[in-house]
């Protein structure tokens, strides 16, 4: 039996930064940001860590699932902004939630973090190694941004999405297929230079802002358009899905132009694409669960819908997962 998503919830901080805010001190404009990225505003967590966004989303997810939190036997957190290098954010979340007999770990796959973690959680459930996995995709990107770099400051935001992964009750519904990739060629184009063992923190690395996001946007854009469009089309073909069969494309929200190119390649109209980048920007591991949770809350997803989840991010990492939705709201 395949694994499936049995509950989902999200959290985003109250504080907003609009494009106008960046206009006030950077050489940029609302118009440039909107037309080049699709972003209008993003949420910023002023106080607290990534785990502090995960916990409210997790509590809501557990409530939605109608389970006792002690039934959860594994916690996975996909993030590139962990609370600490160690302990894992999964351990921090476990402690804050007070879940007793559980194990867990973090996954680092940047913007593909949620998909890589979803595949991992599904494999654990399908193999019988876990029964109820709390899967969290969350990033406090504002903690690693250079707010004076117009190339990156305007792109990202903070949010969390949490879902519960369990065995499906039907062979034909759930997480049905996945194609995932990693290629270290991308390291030079999108990275955080310092803070790891290659370049431990020094006074100089801090002064040079090497603990913040570096991105060669143009190059990443080219790889992202090809990577996300190709893999989304590939998973459709592999599963004999036509564009009519697709209920929703759920793309990582990095740039509206990358999303449109992917939809075009799949032959899917934008009315079938989940887009909320205008409200949140790129929240890295949170974009996909945040979309699904919002669309579900709005009653737009129904049992039997075919969803194609697709992402591209630092590494490079990219991939697609085919989900036949298994629940009504
Ligand atoms: O989620 C992880 C994966 N990341 C992505 O998928 C992001 C991929 N890349 C992108 O989304 C886009 O490349 C960006 C949105 C980052 C940039 O858009 P672009 O259309 O590729 O712009 P560009 O990098 O080609 O830059 C065009 C110009 C440059 O000026 P010059 O060199 O032509 O004089 C930039 O310096 O726009 C300039 N620019 C800006 N201008 C105003 C860069 N950022 C800004 C800005 N405001 N915020």
Confidence tier at 279 by pLDDT (50, 70, 90): very high
Query: Closest by alpha carbon to 193, among 216, 213, 167?
Result: 213
If you average pLDDT over residues 296-307, what whole number do you get?
A: 97
For residue 116, the model assigns a pLDDT of 98
Q: Going by CA atoms, what residue is nearest to atom 11 of ligand 1?
A: 255
CA of 213 to the centre of ligand 1 (A): 14
Catalytic residue among 282, 291, 306, 326: 282
Answer whether residue 32 shows pLDDT above 70. yes
For residue 314, the model assigns a pLDDT of 98
Q: Using the atom order of ligand 1, give the atom closest to the CA of residue 220.
A: 8
CA angle (261, 147, 284) in 5-degree steps: 40
* 61 classed as catalytic: no
Query: Closest by alpha carbon to 169, among 199, 125, 200?
Result: 125
Contact (Cβ atoms closer than 8 angstroms) between residue 61 and residue 163? yes
Query: Closest by alpha carbon to 195, among 289, 108, 308, 65?
Result: 108
CA of 143 to the centre of ligand 1 (A): 21
* 111 classed as catalytic: yes
If you average pLDDT over residues 244-265, what whole number do you get?
A: 97
If you average pLDDT over residues 186-206, what whole number do you get?
A: 97
CA angle (283, 211, 139) in 5-degree steps: 20
> Hey, is 3 helix, strand or coil?
strand
Q: What distance in Å separates the CA atoms of residue 241 and residue 266, rounded to the nearest whole number? A: 10
Average pLDDT, the chain: 97
If you average pLDDT over residues 74-103, what whole number do you get?
A: 98
Phi, psi of 21 (to 5 degrees): -60, -45
For residue 327, the model assigns a pLDDT of 81
Q: Using the atom order of ligand 1, give the atom closest to the CA of residue 152.
A: 16
> Hey, is 49 helix, strand or coil?
coil
Q: What percent of the chain has pLDDT over 90?
A: 99
User: Which residues are CB-contacts of 190 (< 8 A; sequence separation ≥ 6)?
Assistant: 110, 213, 214, 215, 216, 220, 313, 314, 316
Q: What distance in Å separates the CA atoms of residue 125 and residue 317, rounded to the nearest whole number? A: 23
Contact (Cβ atoms closer than 8 angstroms) between residue 277 and residue 256? yes
Answer whether residue 199 shows pLDDT above 70. yes
Mutate to test the pocket of ligand 1, among 221, 259, 262 (most ligand atoms within 8 A of CB): 221
CA of 327 to the centre of ligand 1 (A): 39
CA of 151 to the centre of ligand 1 (A): 6
Answer whether residue 328 shows pLDDT above 80. no
CA angle (1, 4, 178) in 5-degree steps: 85
Answer whether residue 183 shows pLDDT above 80. yes
Based on C-alpha coordinates, what's the Rg of the chain? 19
Q: What distance in Å separates the CA atoms of residue 170 and residue 2, rounded to the nearest whole number? A: 8
Mutate to test the pocket of ligand 1, among 217, 255, 280 (most ligand atoms within 8 A of CB): 217
Q: What distance in Å separates the CA atoms of residue 125 and residue 74, rounded to the nearest whole number? A: 10
* 181 classed as catalytic: no
DSSP H helices in 66-197:
89-97, 113-127, 150-153
What are the structural domains, with CATH classification, of the chain? 3-167 (3.40.47.10), 174-324 (3.40.47.10)
CA of 155 to the centre of ligand 1 (A): 10
Q: Which residues form ligand 1's pocket by a CB distance below 6 Å? A: 28, 32-33, 36-37, 111, 150-151, 154, 217-218, 220-221, 224, 254-255, 258, 282, 312-313
């Amino acid at each position: 039996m395949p694994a499936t998503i049995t509950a989902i919830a999200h959290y985003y901080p109250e504080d907003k930064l609009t494009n106008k805010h960046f206009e006030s001190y950077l050489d940029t404009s609302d118009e440039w940001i909107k037309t080049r990225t699709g972003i209008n505003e993003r949420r910023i967590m002023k106080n607290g860590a990534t785990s502090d966004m995960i916990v409210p989303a997790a509590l809501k997810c557990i409530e939605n699932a109608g389970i006792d939190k002690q039934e959860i036997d594994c916690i996975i957190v996909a993030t590139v902004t962990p609370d600490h290098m160690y302990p894992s954010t999964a351990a921090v979340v476990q402690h804050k939630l007070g879940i007793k007999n559980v194990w867990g770990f973090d996954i680092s796959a940047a913007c593909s973090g949620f998909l890589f973690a979803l595949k991992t959680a599904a494999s654990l459930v399908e193999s019988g190694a876990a029964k109820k996995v709390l899967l969290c995709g969350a990033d406090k990107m504002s903690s690693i941004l250079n707010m004076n770099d117009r190339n990156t400051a305007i792109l990202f935001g903070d949010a969390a999405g949490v879902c519960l992964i369990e065995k499906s009750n039907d062979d034909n519904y759930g997480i049905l297929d996945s194609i995932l990739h990693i290629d270290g060629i991308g390291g030079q184009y999108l990275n955080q230079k310092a803070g790891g063992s290659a370049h431990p923190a020094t006074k100089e690395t801090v002064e040079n802002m090497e603990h913040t996001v570096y991105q060669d946007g143009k190059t990443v854009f080219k790889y992202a358009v090809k990577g996300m469009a190709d893999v989304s089309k590939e998973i459709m073909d592999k599963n004999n899905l036509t564009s009519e069969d697709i209920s929703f494309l759920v793309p990582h929200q990095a740039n509206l132009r990358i999303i449109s190119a992917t939809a075009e390649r799949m032959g899917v109209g934008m009315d079938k694409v989940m887009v909320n980048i205008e409200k949140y920007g790129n929240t890295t591991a949170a974009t996909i669960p945040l979309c699904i949770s919002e669309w579900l809350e709005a009653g737009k997803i129904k049992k039997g819908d075919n969803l194609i989840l697709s992402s591209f991010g630092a590494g490079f990492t990219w991939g697609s997962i085919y989900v036949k939705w298994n629940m009504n709201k």
